[in-house]
A and B are shown apart, each in its own frame.
Chain A
């Protein structure tokens, strides 16, 4: 196992019948880096991410996450990753502490650990007063931050974030990215998909997927230089224009 790479994909492919959703994807993600996974709707981002999380079985190709094979050791992979989905991923009708307790329990944490981490986490989020509040009653931005904290509650090696900042205001997005940076500082690798190109600038490296393939992969700065454009948005526009698939 290569200590430097925490995610390795080689020729990863997923077909749904005749449709090739993800076409021979090959890339590596460094330990502790923030890796932006960009692409238009329907480009195959979510499918690729689901394969890496063990939610979906690849049609062909190889992949390892946190040192475990995504085919044969899916259960081990799941123990060492965190996942926050596009849809909101906490239980709305449960209290804040009940959600934390559940996810702590699912990942095999002990009662005492869960209690200690809960207190610490709520302090960091300034949510101590909301410990007994139903998640339903929290504003969306708080929920997203809470969901992210839950996804790294068990200290995973990699956390997969599927459009985590959809629908929240710019200030909350900013705060959210500060949380991402803090997590990365603790050594957690961040694998994030996003629609917002300003967020792409915050990543260490980004890949841009078009029609199921990776068209570009580098740091935002190098990509801007390579395409000789001022922003990541321009890079994205340039590449996405070549897409034949229609977004859905």
Chain B
């Protein structure tokens, strides 16, 4: 065991000596969490609303008040002419235009059929549909209120409820995603670079001519990054719980166990990369492009897997981060027990086994 510990110590010397890399390693999760948490927000909050209200009656006033009162919308402008609608969108401040019909209240009272138009900016369809959904929710509530005033009864009013994330906060979605991305990147990229560096500088030959066994070299290379990843995992979970207020509903032990499995998987992936490339540059490119892109695009971090074309859904099945992110979402946000994530954990374990087997075999053949 002595050679092993000497080697791990040396790996830590390497890491601590390279202050810049260490800063990136430990700072990246913090920056990404804050970036996703505060800058890149997909939720609807204080969206500016313009209103065209030729009717100006009690009903329209009520609706406007309700919109203003909600956290989602701010009444910014009263339009005087429907021709202005196009312009306010082009100015870019307004996210929603509400157009009431002429004689809104009387229509409502006499025919029970007043019309209201919600206009959104379709250049960002996701945001547009979110805004429409929130506005519709408020209108439904108003309708109920107005119906009460008009003493018309017997309407079915759907009450909407988002389980597990009542406020629809995007942090609930991206915290698992960022965990998947950071752990994958740091483990795989750093391990592959660390091993390839030994090849590049020629020190690998010295190591192989020493009594250290290849498996010891590999494990000793992985150990420091395993520790660093665990630190990152803790950082992410603390930030998400105390800064972004995403609660960990499920079992923390289970969450950590699944994360450690994923870290191990990413480390073996890094080992595999280090077997196929011969320069640090190539290792960085392969792990940067080859891992980052699939994790960003195909893991469900940004684009929901359910809405992908079928072929992409198949491809996404081989992206480990997809299964990890799904499992973390279930455990962290939904608070499920182990049996509910057994499938994801099983797939991750299988992938890990496969990667280790392949990369160990490769590492050995390099020696003979």
Q: Would you list the 8 A-B pairs with minimal beta carbon distance, nearest first?
A: A105-B6, A87-B202, A83-B209, A57-B368, A102-B10, A79-B211, A78-B211, A106-B3
**Given the complex, which residues of A lie within 8 Å of B149, measured CB to CB?**
none
Is A229 engaged at the interface, CB distance under 8 Å to the other chain? no
B6–A106 CB distance below 8 A = yes
B209–A53 CB distance below 8 A = yes
A75–B3 CB distance below 8 A = no
A85–B3 CB distance below 8 A = no
| Interface residue from A75, A84, A98 paired with B10 (Cβ < 8 Å) | A98
Is B155 engaged at the interface, CB distance under 8 Å to the other chain? no
**Given the complex, which residues of B lie within 8 Å of A103, measured CB to CB?**
210
Nearest CB of A to B214, in Å = 11
7 A–B contacts from the bound complex (CB under 8 Å): A78-B209, A86-B202, A90-B203, A104-B6, A106-B6, A106-B207, A106-B210
Instruction: Flag B1-13 by CB within 8 Å of A: 1 or 0 each.
Output: 0110111011001
Nearest CB of A to B1, in Å = 10
A85-B202, A89-B205, A103-B210 known, 13 other contacts, Cβ within 8 Å? A54-B209, A78-B210, A78-B211, A93-B17, A95-B13, A98-B10, A98-B13, A105-B3, A106-B207, A106-B211, A107-B210, A107-B211, A108-B211
Is A88 engaged at the interface, CB distance under 8 Å to the other chain? yes
Interface residues of B in 20-76 (CB under 8 A from A): none
**Given the complex, which residues of B lie within 8 Å of A88, measured CB to CB?**
201-202
Instruction: Flag A61-81 by CB within 8 Å of B: 1 or 0 each.
Output: 000000000000001001101
**Given the complex, which residues of B lie within 8 Å of A56, measured CB to CB?**
367-368
Which of the listed residues B17, B211, B213 has the most CB atoms from chain A within 10 Å of its own CB?
B211
B212–A106 CB distance below 8 A = yes
Interface positions of A (Cβ within 8 A of B): 53-57, 75, 78-79, 81, 83-95, 98, 101-108, 160
Distance, CA A86 to CA B201, complexed state (A): 11
**Given the complex, which residues of B lie within 8 Å of A89, measured CB to CB?**
202-203, 205-206
B5–A91 CB distance below 8 A = no
**Given the complex, which residues of B lie within 8 Å of A104, measured CB to CB?**
6
Nearest CB of A to B119, in Å = 61
Distance, CA A95 to CA B10, complexed state (A): 10
| Interface residue from A75, A95, A105 paired with B7 (Cβ < 8 Å) | A105
- Nearest residue (CB) in A for B208 is A55
B368–A108 CB distance below 8 A = no
B14–A94 CB distance below 8 A = yes
- Interface majority SS (helix, strand, loop, mixed), chain B: helix
Is B124 engaged at the interface, CB distance under 8 Å to the other chain? no
Is B18 engaged at the interface, CB distance under 8 Å to the other chain? yes
Nearest CB of B to A119, in Å = 18
Nearest CB of B to A21, in Å = 14
**Given the complex, which residues of A lie within 8 Å of B17, measured CB to CB?**
93-94
- Nearest residue (CB) in B for A162 is B205
Nearest CB of B to A214, in Å = 23
- Nearest residue (CB) in B for A151 is B206
Nearest CB of B to A15, in Å = 13
Nearest CB of B to A232, in Å = 28
Nearest CB of A to B205, in Å = 5
**Given the complex, which residues of B lie within 8 Å of A108, measured CB to CB?**
2-3, 211
Distance, CA A34 to CA B210, complexed state (A): 22
**Given the complex, which residues of A lie within 8 Å of B209, measured CB to CB?**
53-55, 78, 81, 83, 85, 160
**Given the complex, which residues of A lie within 8 Å of B367, measured CB to CB?**
55-56
**Given the complex, which residues of A lie within 8 Å of B207, measured CB to CB?**
106
Nearest CB of A to B87, in Å = 61
Distance, CA A105 to CA B212, complexed state (A): 10
Distance, CA A83 to CA B7, complexed state (A): 18
- Nearest residue (CB) in B for A76 is B211
Distance, CA A85 to CA B9, complexed state (A): 23
A94 touching B10 in the complex, CB below 8 Å, given contacts A106-B210, A108-B211:
yes
Distance, CA A79 to CA B201, complexed state (A): 23
| Interface residue from B3, B6, B10, B211 paired with A91 (Cβ < 8 Å) | B10
**Given the complex, which residues of B lie within 8 Å of A101, measured CB to CB?**
6, 9-10
Instruction: Flag B165-196 by CB within 8 Å of A: 1 or 0 each.
Output: 00000000000000000000000000000000
**Given the complex, which residues of A lie within 8 Å of B210, measured CB to CB?**
78, 83, 103, 106-107
B14–A91 CB distance below 8 A = yes
- Nearest residue (CB) in A for B210 is A106
A85–B7 CB distance below 8 A = no
Instruction: Flag B199-237 by CB within 8 Å of A: 1 or 0 each.
Output: 001110111111111000000000000000000000000
Which of the listed residues B203, B209, B213 has the most CB atoms from chain A within 10 Å of its own CB?
B209
**Given the complex, which residues of B lie within 8 Å of A86, measured CB to CB?**
202
- Nearest residue (CB) in B for A78 is B211
B203–A91 CB distance below 8 A = yes
**Given the complex, which residues of A lie within 8 Å of B368, measured CB to CB?**
56-57
**Given the complex, which residues of B lie within 8 Å of A75, measured CB to CB?**
211, 213
**Given the complex, which residues of A lie within 8 Å of B3, measured CB to CB?**
105-108
A93 touching B213 in the complex, CB below 8 Å, given contacts A55-B205, A86-B202, A105-B2:
no
Distance, CA A94 to CA B201, complexed state (A): 13
Distance, CA A55 to CA B14, complexed state (A): 25
Nearest CB of A to B41, in Å = 41
Distance, CA A29 to CA B10, complexed state (A): 35
**Given the complex, which residues of B lie within 8 Å of A85, measured CB to CB?**
202, 205-206, 209
Distance, CA A57 to CA B208, complexed state (A): 13
Nearest CB of B to A49, in Å = 10
Nearest CB of A to B244, in Å = 37
**Given the complex, which residues of A lie within 8 Å of B212, measured CB to CB?**
106
Distance, CA A94 to CA B5, complexed state (A): 16
Distance, CA A107 to CA B367, complexed state (A): 19
